[in-house]
Structure 1
């Protein structure tokens, strides 16, 4: 939060159009992290945080943009020779020689899938699912 708030003014607490103090950075980021961590819909934050769906969605979009821009140089880069050596050494210690990364996929049932999207996201069990893909190194 200490790096995201200065990066994007949207997260600063300001007065709204009615002259009332708007949401704090903590509320906007809590809404965002709930959506990202639990896969909840933006409108569910209204019950818990009293924050509108549009505000939750905008906070999530801006949070992801900020994280990408702030950390891409360090974390979204090609590995160096030293990085590769560390990864290969760690993999060998764990019993996976010559492995740099592994890919795993799983289907998660999408409980809050909009009715209009059911057909597009129907999985192998006949229910809406999304696929979580994780690459670990």
Structure 2
């Protein structure tokens, strides 16, 4: 399978997701959402919490050589990072971003999130 075919397929998939689920699910949380989420976390002994952040670091085997330094993780291997902010019992993903270089740690990635900065 060629890289071009994969890119066209991924872009088509993302386009369908946006048109099908965009208005309801692909948005920033409203004030009502934030109150509901904070109430849920408070009832689970985490007052003031608005969600959970997780970053998944994957080894990037076929990265371009020109990106070797920036995408090198702590063990010197090429790494690319996926970040997700999940909130509440419904497990809504309020923010998802992919492609962070492995040279960034989770705190750097969190600090770059405009979604999180907008809420705080």
For Structure 1 versus Structure 2, the TM-score category normalised by the shorter chain is 0.5 to 0.7
Residue of structure 2 in register with 1:96 after alignment: 46
Q: Distance in 1 between the 2:12 and 2:26 partners?
A: 18
Query: How far apart are 1:136 and its partner, in Å?
Result: 1.1
Residue of structure 2 in register with 1:39 after alignment: none
Please identify which structure carries the higher strand content.
2
Name structure 2 gaps, 5 residues minimum. 88-120
Please identify which structure carries the higher helix content.
1
> Could you say what secondary structure the match of 1:123 adopts?
coil
User: Number of paired residues?
Assistant: 87
In structure 2, do the counterparts of structure 1 residues 128 and 68 end up closer, same or farther at CA, with 3 Å as the change threshold?
A: same
Residue of structure 2 in register with 1:7 after alignment: none
What TM-score, normalized to structure 2? 0.58
What TM-score, normalized to structure 1? 0.52
Larger RCO (alpha carbons 8 Å, 6+ apart) = 2
C-alpha RMSD of the superposition? 2.2
Q: Distance in 1 between the 2:66 and 2:30 partners?
A: 45
